[in-house]
Amino acid sequence: MNILTFETNEELNEVGAGIIASLVQTKPNAVLGLATGSTPIGIYEELIKLYQKGRVSFKHATTFNLDEYIGLPEDHPESYRTFMNEKLFNHIDIPLEQTHVPNGNAADLEKECRDYDDMLTNSKQIDLQILGLGHNGHIGFNEPDQSLNSGTHIVQLKEETRKANARFFNSIDEVPTQAITMGVGTILKAKMIILVVRGAEKAAIVQRALQGAITTDVPASLLQTHPNVVVLLDKEAGGMLS
């Protein structure tokens, strides 16, 4: 595990975008696993700049997003499909049919999970997976539990997760209670993982995830078992690491 700490978010964003762009430059048909939320936005902005400068093209790449809320219309401003379109896809040359986000409005949600896993299987292997880190140690929407699902599945969101996401809605009552998420097993199959964490409020869980016991009570701690993880932290998030 390669842990990098940055003095500024600008440096962090440039390094994160540089890793992704380098992969796509050397492997134009790369399969990218993408994340939502405020954490990766700066990296996506840097990727857009690199594309606009003609330094990278995504027209042959394929993307799979980690998760999606259940019950939000696809065009809802807080759906993850809307997020990805507005923050990245609409500004680069990737065909939208090559971008995949779980359908949280599928008539048969269990079948949607199976179909998403089938698409992932048919794409062979994710070359690079971007992750954020939840306050309780979740990755994707894989919440702390006695056991974790390997494949794509439906999850009941913890109250602390809903509270953390309530800032994007008018109130916590509007935050969905369920989501579809890629499983930890699928995440760990990626050839490379980039974990991005920002802010002092994440320092304690960063320490537990990266230097604590490997346990399903902190799903991100399972990243310690992966052979190729790069961790990008601002100095506040890395403040409790030994």
Collapsing DSSP to helix, strand or coil, 187 comes out as helix
- Return the structure tokens found at 4: 């990098």
* CB contact set of 146 (below 8 Å; sequence gap of 6+): 216
Contact 105, 74 (CB under 8 A): yes
Phi, psi (deg, nearest 5) at residue 169: -120, 170
Cβ 126 vs Cβ 191: under 8 Å: yes
How far apart CA 193 and CA 127 sit, in angstroms, is 8
Coil, strand or helix at 176 = coil
Query: Residues with catalytic annotation?
Result: 67, 136, 138, 143
User: Dihedral of the CA atoms 1, 68, 41, 217 (nearest 10)?
Assistant: -30
Instruction: Report whether 40 contacts 34 (CB < 8 A).
Output: yes
* Alpha-helix residue ranges (DSSP H) falling in the chain: 9-26, 41-52, 80-87, 109-122, 159-165, 184-188, 203-211
Pull the structure tokens for residue 231. 């961790």
Nearest CA among 174, 128, 184 for reference residue 152: 184
